Amino acid sequence: MKRIAFTLMLLFYCISAFAAKVDTVQIPSAAMNKTYKAAIAFPNAYAKSKASFPVLYLLHGGYGHFDDWLSKTPDKSLVKNLADQYNIIIVMPEGEIFSYYVDSPVDPGSKFETYIIREVIPFIDSKYRTVNDKKGRLITGLSMGGYGSLYLSTRHPDLFAAAGSMSGALDPNMTTWKLPPDRFEMLTKMLDKIWGPMTPDTYLQYSVVNMADQIRRNGLPLVINIGVDDFLLEPNRELHRRLVYNHTPHDYSEQPGGHTWEFWQNALPGHLLFFSKVLKANGTYVL
Amino acid sequence: MKRIAFTLMLLFYCISAFAAKVDTVQIPSAAMNKTYKAAIAFPNAYAKSKASFPVLYLLHGGYGHFDDWLSKTPDKSLVKNLADQYNIIIVMPEGEIFSYYVDSPVDPGSKFETYIIREVIPFIDSKYRTVNDKKGRLITGLSMGGYGSLYLSTRHPDLFAAAGSMSGALDPNMTTWKLPPDRFEMLTKMLDKIWGPMTPDTYLQYSVVNMADQIRRNGLPLVINIGVDDFLLEPNRELHRRLVYNHTPHDYSEQPGGHTWEFWQNALPGHLLFFSKVLKANGTYVL
Amino acid sequence: MKRIAFTLMLLFYCISAFAAKVDTVQIPSAAMNKTYKAAIAFPNAYAKSKASFPVLYLLHGGYGHFDDWLSKTPDKSLVKNLADQYNIIIVMPEGEIFSYYVDSPVDPGSKFETYIIREVIPFIDSKYRTVNDKKGRLITGLSMGGYGSLYLSTRHPDLFAAAGSMSGALDPNMTTWKLPPDRFEMLTKMLDKIWGPMTPDTYLQYSVVNMADQIRRNGLPLVINIGVDDFLLEPNRELHRRLVYNHTPHDYSEQPGGHTWEFWQNALPGHLLFFSKVLKANGTYVL
Amino acid sequence: MKRIAFTLMLLFYCISAFAAKVDTVQIPSAAMNKTYKAAIAFPNAYAKSKASFPVLYLLHGGYGHFDDWLSKTPDKSLVKNLADQYNIIIVMPEGEIFSYYVDSPVDPGSKFETYIIREVIPFIDSKYRTVNDKKGRLITGLSMGGYGSLYLSTRHPDLFAAAGSMSGALDPNMTTWKLPPDRFEMLTKMLDKIWGPMTPDTYLQYSVVNMADQIRRNGLPLVINIGVDDFLLEPNRELHRRLVYNHTPHDYSEQPGGHTWEFWQNALPGHLLFFSKVLKANGTYVL
């Protein structure tokens, strides 16, 4: 009997897998007078249920767009499978190629902190059956998106249960990165458009590394990964050291690899596992 | 239709969970002229299948015994559930209270390297439907068991696909630990029985920290966790630094917490996830 | 001929050594309505010259008083000999037993920042033939005095050419120190009188570790020593890491030993050598 | 009276300074069937005395020769002045451009360990009034010479009282250095002539970083400097960490700057100060 049920189960699971929903939606920005797309991966269970589901905001990196996590991972169904496995709605918003997910101090047309916090999140909460509460809201991302995740969750701790970073560009001051001089020049030119002219002090207010004490006060569970060959190793190590120094609990991992989609594909499941423990502990996990 | 199958599936899963097999067996040691017990958690799928299953050797810590992982974790079904989830047979052998899983240089009655490598592993492979090959054999443990896992896998890389350590006592030289003087005295007395009288040079040959170059040569995937409040933090950091220095790929995490069952219960699922990726890559993972 | 001159030189040197001047003076504090003593070691050359001499402010540690550097070093003539060797006036002011050289936020009777900066320095400059300028003013100290040196020079960079710290208590938040619990309790009680009730955030504004960016902006040459067995190792390492991270030039040494007068006697000559190079470079060194 | 003697003293000091002796000698090598030059700076006091003087062996770096320390420092009289100030004979032997001061495993014509230890030292001791004993023999050097100093003193601890390293190339495995790829290629080609074809394991036996436990056993006082911008930072940090880990007393400094003569000119006086304390403690210092 078990065997028959098991086989049926396997059959329906396979069918369900092929029917996993990933939608593309338009989320307007009044602040930027523009509309941007977002992708949303719904767990299978979402359509079959009346429960409210937790939401993970999954941010792309520099040079990227909203659909990176669906198109650039070696396993194209990574995000969909994780949404199913953990019963979490995964929202992938647009962050433009170099917004850093901040409200730019120099470009009024780049207000991605406002967009994510005041426009995307309310849009998602109003349209879908989400846990519309800090308890059921998570955020993580890669590179510029890892920065964005920690920047936004540190400035808005009332909105998130936990946050993560994969290869996060945690310090926009690129003198802390390991870049060859020509690449440093080129990136500086591009990023001047967002940050304005660069001084170490201009950067301080935007550096997540410099927010270690605010991170301590907030007390959000954090999961941080960095590859030992990544040019962003130092900012990640520096943040970790400051969080150890000021006794802030956080998960920190150094792993093989560098700034690659292979690394991020390998790291994301660990973030979902980490987040699922947080959700189980605060009662919003959907079984 | 989906809903009915889903419900049936849930029902049988629950029944299966209550029916997860954990056996206790006797594994004799010719080398020590003794017989010790071991616990074995079989995945549900084992009884329903003809496939060969990978095996994880899960080592207990100091002051402990074979059944620690079944009796001391807050969630008593942790190991059984992981065996089910990942289709891995989990063997928990006896390591006695302070054997360090080595062949003691001074106590001929304590030969736990020989026991695990030449007696337990062949016993398990002969009695059960295991992947009787390096590709399907994994090892990890906590504290003294974390040391044992890395010590044994480093000395017998032909036997294992990957290894892990949770709060590993990676350097038996306890001057590298953060112990209060009275505890240091007391442990020294106990461990003299295994190591003999202590000098920094006696310890070097047994220190996993000192094996960083052999670890590099072996190339086994490794997953290492340590709590930032653990008295074993320094040996773990030192091994990590040497493995970064000599370019040995390995996963290393510093997490909140100390030398507690709560920490190990939190770390073990991450080890199983890590091992499952290794098994999937080498073709021995049972779907 | 050389030999005769050499012998004469040796003779007079010896006579001069025995005649090295160390004065004790009274330096009143209007801010605290009290008068405190200070010791001053004058180079031999001071009395024989009309030149203006640079001044080193040498601060004592916790539980100490103005004459510590003359009475507690194994070699009681250490400070006098260094004053002679480098032609620097060495002023040893009173810092009371636990003032931390700050203006206490809770005890109006403890205003040692005001005392040192606005009362002691002007007193010395008015009474003696000093280089009354940032260029000829140096500061260093041990333990609480190392903290004081860096705290005062960071807040008053216009007053000093360079600063040093030996075993500095660089973070008044004692959870960053390696203290046994009973000592932690006892020191906390004592220091509450100066700092007020303790929170991590109260301490931030007084932590030299937290001033790494101001230190960078100031650009003062710094020389920092810490013993690897010192309970203050972590705050010193943390400051050093932050100064490396933000590219602030500074001399940092880890040496054998702990929080002992032997350590400080060994470190002070290196500080004088360091300071002499600064003075030679800015033209205030007296040959 | 003091003033007259002081003036006479000053006069003779100046005369003496201009008369400081730096000799160039030929020191043959039977092992290499060659004769190499060496420079020797004698303290003023040497000629006026019958005492035996301690000797410092000061090694040059890669691409260099015996007279580097006399010709490449900004202050050309640095070494002579230090010899005078500390009454130490400073010997600057030839190490050829890339010998690493080892007996090459592949080039029988490059035996600089034998040369320094068995040929130069006995030559100096036989020809000059030296302290012909471990107690009065010191060694230090820059870059390849810093490596040589630690390599030779670690392998011959019976010959030296203390050793130093400035920007030492402490690990000949250049994958541990921060080199641009083209420079790495070029140096690899050159150094293959000394080391033979490169593997991580070939290097281990020659890596000073890998000798941390022998260094511990030897117990020699060590003084190590590295600039934070030096491409050799990592090997120096790794050695320091291992020496802290295994409780080996040593002086370690991270300072501003990189691989420059300015850095070495700044570091050498500190080494002489360090060595003078060792000599004063063991009774061989000449007053």
> Chain C partners of D250 at a C-beta cutoff of 8 Å?
256
- Pairwise CB contact (< 8 Å): A250 & B270: no
The domains located in chain C, with CATH, are 2-282 (3.40.50.1820)
pLDDT higher than 60, residue D19:
no
- Using CB atoms, list chains with 3+ pairs below 8 Å to chain B: A, D
Q: Name the band, by pLDDT with cuts 50, 70 and 90, for residue D198.
A: confident
For position D12, what pLDDT does the model report? 57
For position B18, what pLDDT does the model report? 47
Q: Does D234 touch chain B (CB under 8 A)?
A: yes
User: Other CB atoms closer than 10 Å to residue C175's CB: what's the count?
Assistant: 15
For position A202, what pLDDT does the model report? 86
CA separation for the pair D112, D29 (Å, rounded)? 9
CA separation for the pair C154, C250 (Å, rounded)? 13
- At A55-86, the pLDDT tens digits run 999 999 999 999 999 999 999 999 999 999 99
Q: Does B249 touch chain A (CB under 8 A)?
A: yes
Longest dimension (CA), chain C: 70
Query: Taken in order A70, A76, A78, A81, is the CA torsion positive or negative?
Result: positive
> Chain B partners of D234 at a C-beta cutoff of 8 Å?
245
For position D4, what pLDDT does the model report? 67
C115-128 CB burial, b ≥16 within 10 A, e <16: bbbebbbebbbeeb
CA separation for the pair D213, B238 (Å, rounded)? 14
Contact criterion met (CB below 8 Å) for C98 and C188: no
The enclosing H or E element of D98 equals: none
- Pairwise CB contact (< 8 Å): A266 & B277: yes
CA separation for the pair C170, C147 (Å, rounded)? 5
Give the mean model confidence (pLDDT) for residues B256-283. 98
- At C146-197, the pLDDT tens digits run 999 999 999 999 999 999 999 999 999 999 999 999 999 999 998 988 998 8
How wide is the angle at C-alpha D181 spanned by C-alphas D178 and D184, nearest 5°?
A: 70
In the chain, the amino acid numbered C273 is L
For position D125, what pLDDT does the model report? 98
Q: Is beta strand C21-29 parallel, antiparallel or unpaired with respect to B222-227? A: unpaired
Encoding tokens for residue C93?
A: 């002011």
- At A122-175, the pLDDT tens digits run 999 999 999 999 999 999 999 999 999 999 999 999 999 999 999 999 999 999
Least confident of B245-254, C9-18, D96-105: C9-18
- Pairwise CB contact (< 8 Å): D266 & C277: yes
For position D16, what pLDDT does the model report? 47
CA separation for the pair A209, B146 (Å, rounded)? 32
DSSP D32: T
Q: Does D6 touch chain C (CB under 8 A)?
A: yes
Q: Does A250 touch chain B (CB under 8 A)?
A: yes
Q: Name the band, by pLDDT with cuts 50, 70 and 90, for residue B16.
A: very low
Encoding tokens for residue C244?
A: 């490396």
Contact criterion met (CB below 8 Å) for B258 and B227: yes
Q: What percentage of chain B reaches a pLDDT higher than 70?
A: 93
> Chain B partners of D209 at a C-beta cutoff of 8 Å?
245
CA distance B90 to chain A (A): 21
Contact criterion met (CB below 8 Å) for D41 and C55: no
- At B57-69, the pLDDT tens digits run 999 999 999 999 9
Contact criterion met (CB below 8 Å) for D130 and D124: yes
Q: Name the band, by pLDDT with cuts 50, 70 and 90, for residue A8.
A: low
- At C80-138, the pLDDT tens digits run 999 999 999 999 999 999 999 999 999 999 999 999 999 999 999 999 999 999 999 99
- Pairwise CB contact (< 8 Å): A217 & C204: no
> Chain A partners of C217 at a C-beta cutoff of 8 Å?
201
> Chain B partners of A270 at a C-beta cutoff of 8 Å?
270, 273
For position C21, what pLDDT does the model report? 86
Residue linked to tokens 């970073």: A165
CA separation for the pair B94, B115 (Å, rounded)? 9
- Pairwise CB contact (< 8 Å): B253 & A250: no
Instruction: Strands of A150-208 (E only): list them.
Output: 162-166
> Chain A partners of C201 at a C-beta cutoff of 8 Å?
213, 217
Encoding tokens for residue D224?
A: 């190590």
CA distance B240 to chain D (A): 12
Averaged confidence pLDDT in chain D: 94
For position C17, what pLDDT does the model report? 46
Q: pTM for this structure?
A: 0.93
- Pairwise CB contact (< 8 Å): C48 & D2: yes
Q: Is beta strand B34-42 parallel, antiparallel or unpaired with respect to B89-92? A: antiparallel
Give the mean model confidence (pLDDT) for residues B30-47. 97
- Pairwise CB contact (< 8 Å): B175 & D201: no
DSSP A117: I
Taking Cα atoms as reference points, which of B114, B210, B91, B219 lies closest to residue B162? Answer: B219
Contact criterion met (CB below 8 Å) for C220 and C166: no
Give the mean model confidence (pLDDT) for residues B85-99. 97
Residue C5's contacts (CB-CB under 8 Å, 6 or more residues apart) are D8, D9, D11, D12
- Asked if the ipTM is above 0.90, the reply is yes
Q: What DSSP string describes D132-191? A: -SGGGEEEEEBTHHHHHHHHHHHH-GGG-SEEEEES----S-GGGS---HHHHHHHHHHH
CA separation for the pair B98, B111 (Å, rounded)? 11
Question: How far is CA D229 from its chain centroid?
Answer: 21
> Chain A partners of B8 at a C-beta cutoff of 8 Å?
5, 8-9
How wide is the angle at C-alpha D167 spanned by C-alphas D165 and D173, nearest 5°?
A: 100
Q: Is beta strand C251-255 parallel, antiparallel or unpaired with respect to D251-255? A: antiparallel
CA separation for the pair B203, A47 (Å, rounded)? 60
pLDDT higher than 70, residue D8:
no
**Which one of D9, D240, D251 has the shortest CB-CB distance to C9?**
D9
Question: How far is CA B22 from its chain centroid?
Answer: 17
**Which one of D5, D16, D270 has the shortest CB-CB distance to C2?**
D16
Q: What percentage of chain D reaches a pLDDT higher than 70?
A: 93
Q: Does B81 touch chain A (CB under 8 A)?
A: no
For position B14, what pLDDT does the model report? 53
- Pairwise CB contact (< 8 Å): A251 & B256: yes
Q: How many residue pairs from chains A and C have C-beta atoms closer than 8 A?
A: 32
Encoding tokens for residue D37?
A: 């030059």
For residue B131, which phi and psi values (nearest 5 degrees)?
Answer: -75, 100
CA separation for the pair C223, C209 (Å, rounded)? 15
Q: Helices C78-86 and C261-282 meet at what angle, rounded to 10?
A: 10
Averaged confidence pLDDT in chain C: 94
Q: Does B12 touch chain A (CB under 8 A)?
A: yes
Contact criterion met (CB below 8 Å) for B139 and B56: yes
List the 29-68 stretch of C: residues with Cβ below 8 A of D.
48
Count H helices and E strands in chain D, helices first.
12, 8
For position B66, what pLDDT does the model report? 98
For residue C163, which phi and psi values (nearest 5 degrees)?
Answer: -145, 155
- Pairwise CB contact (< 8 Å): A247 & C175: yes
Query: How far, CA to CA in Å, does C190 sit from each of B236, C62, C68, C184, C195?
Result: 36, 11, 20, 10, 9
Instruction: Strands of C151-283 (E only): list them.
Output: 162-166, 222-227, 251-255
> Chain C partners of A246 at a C-beta cutoff of 8 Å?
200
Give the mean model confidence (pLDDT) for residues A207-236. 98
CA distance D145 to chain C (A): 21
Mutate which: D234, D246, D248, vs B, most B CBs within 10 A: D246
Strand partners, C103: C111
Mark out the alpha helices in B103-180 (DSSP H runs). 112-114, 121-127, 144-155
CA separation for the pair D105, D119 (Å, rounded)? 19
Q: Does B28 touch chain A (CB under 8 A)?
A: no
CA separation for the pair C262, C274 (Å, rounded)? 19
Q: How many residue pairs from chains C and D have C-beta atoms closer than 8 A?
A: 67
For position A18, what pLDDT does the model report? 47
For position B3, what pLDDT does the model report? 67
CA distance C208 to chain A (A): 14
CA separation for the pair D195, D219 (Å, rounded)? 28
Encoding tokens for residue B127?
A: 């009695």
Q: Name the band, by pLDDT with cuts 50, 70 and 90, for residue C234.
A: very high
In the chain, the amino acid numbered C173 is N
Mutate which: B3, B4, B7, B9, vs A, most A CBs within 10 A: B9
List the 160-189 stretch of C: residues with Cβ below 8 A of D.
none
For position B8, what pLDDT does the model report? 66
Encoding tokens for residue C111?
A: 């205003």
